[in-house]
Amino acid sequence: MQIAPGQGAGAGGDNDGPITCIQEIKDMLAEDRNEKKFTIVGYPVLIKSENLWYRACAKERDGRTCRKKVEEDGTNPGVYNCRCGLRNLSPSETELRFMVQMNIQDFTSSTWAVMFSAESLFRMSAQEMSDIKQRSEQEFLELIADAKFTQMRFSVTAKVEIFNGDPKLKLTVHNAERIWAEEETYKRYMRKRWQEVIMMERSMGVSHEEEYHIDIKGAAAFEHHN
């Protein structure tokens, strides 16, 4: 599925902004720093594994779930206090929510973003990810690696904030959906890229081993020598 940039408002969902690309967002906000909605198609190329989620208040206030961060009471372990003012919350009145810091790249540029609803990226909840991390750090890191280079359609808000005296683009992902119909992973993505390099080398009559003394390992090496 290919989506061209700049197709205009209404190309996305009802609450999405116009489909565009990252460089166009940077150019637009260089002139007007007010918060704007956009839809972009890109890949998370870096995902920070630290602080991937936070514990939030799951109580309803004014008809909406609070979702503000809670802290465990220092004098009363096992209960939590929320920034909204609610106190003595039990664990069942809280929930883990994603807060994923990642670098998104498209064909024009890249930028850092924060994603709070990352179930579509990892195909599981924050609690399920936390349970896996408790059970196996290696399995947890493999899940993060497999989520990289997943082509997705991101609905975002973008604005410019001043950090240490310098303007900085801030992107918040509100919704994302996978574009690939088949399941794609980081390993499959890298294998495809290696195979493309190998085919180019064959057509040019050169190889990494001969030109740069780089030995291709793994599945790509099998393809290379067959």
Token couple for 11:
């190309």
Q: What is the pLDDT at residue 225?
A: 44
Q: Which residues have CB under 8 Å from 63's CB, separation 6+?
A: none
Q: What is the pLDDT at residue 211?
A: 57
Query: What region, left, alpha or beta, does residue 51 occupy, with left being phi > 0 and alpha being psi -120 to 50 degrees?
Result: left
Domain boundaries, the chain: 22-52+99-178, 54-94, 186-224
SS (H, E, C) 64-79: EECCCEEEECCCCCCC
Q: What's CA 134's distance to the chain center, in Å?
A: 22
Q: What is the pLDDT at residue 165?
A: 83
pTM of the model: 0.72
The CATH code of the domain at 22-52+99-178 is: 2.40.50.140
CA distance 97 to 178: 20
Nearest to 39 by CA among 70, 63, 15: 15
Report mean pLDDT in 10-residue bins for the chain, 226 residues: 35 69 93 92 95 94 90 91 92 96 95 94 95 97 92 94 86 89 56 70 67 52 44
Query: What are the backbone angles phi and psi of residue 140, rounded to the nearest 5°?
Result: -60, -45
CA distance 33 to 26: 10
Nearest to 153 by CA among 41, 38, 12: 41
Nearest to 71 by CA among 48, 50, 94, 49: 94
CB 123 within 8 A of CB 102: no
Q: What is the pLDDT at residue 189?
A: 60
Q: Rounded to whole angstroms, what are the CA distances from 178 to 4, 79, 156?
A: 16, 37, 15
Query: What are the backbone angles phi and psi of residue 69, rounded to the nearest 5°?
Result: -70, 140
Q: What is the pLDDT at residue 17?
A: 87
